[in-house]
Amino acid sequence: MESLWNQLDQFTDAPTKQMLQALVKRKQKFEQYAAQCRRWRWTSLICLGLLCLMIMIKSPAPQLVLQEMLSRTFYLFWMMATAFAYCTSYYFKKKEDKAEGDFHKLRCEIIQKSTDLWPQPDKWKARESVFQMMKHKYDINLYFESK
């Protein structure tokens, strides 16, 4: 990856290169939070499904389900694990939304300031290759501001 950034020296100046590197870092941070959120959502869904399945299998009568759940510590532990997984997924969703907002703000800032970042006509043509590299290598669209 370092050689890729060294290739950008001919197309960009140091501040622009730092902005692009910060953009890539924010994109990676956003993707990490999104993966964590998905993982914890699936965990909470599986925990809830297993809890319901265990209750249906082990419960002697439908009227005694609540009594059965509250009297056995295993069910209480499983309910707490499900609640923990859900709360953790909620936490990572908030982090994901914040990271996405930060990423999108910086991406829009680069798009809006592209005339200042590549002022000369020959550099303006080099901008196209930088944008293509960011699109193909990191899946970051710098052509339009829409998400």
Q: Is 1 helix (H, G, I), strand (E, B) or coil?
A: coil
Terminal Cα distance for the chain, rounded: 25
Query: How high is the pLDDT of residue 147?
Result: 67
Residues 35-75: tens digit of each pLDDT: 999 999 999 999 999 999 998 888 778 888 888 888 889 99
Q: What is the pLDDT of residues 128-141, one digit of tens each?
A: 888 898 999 999 99
Query: What is the 8-class DSSP label of residue 113?
Result: T
- On the question of pLDDT at 93 being above 80, the answer is yes
More confident residue, 76 or 7: 76
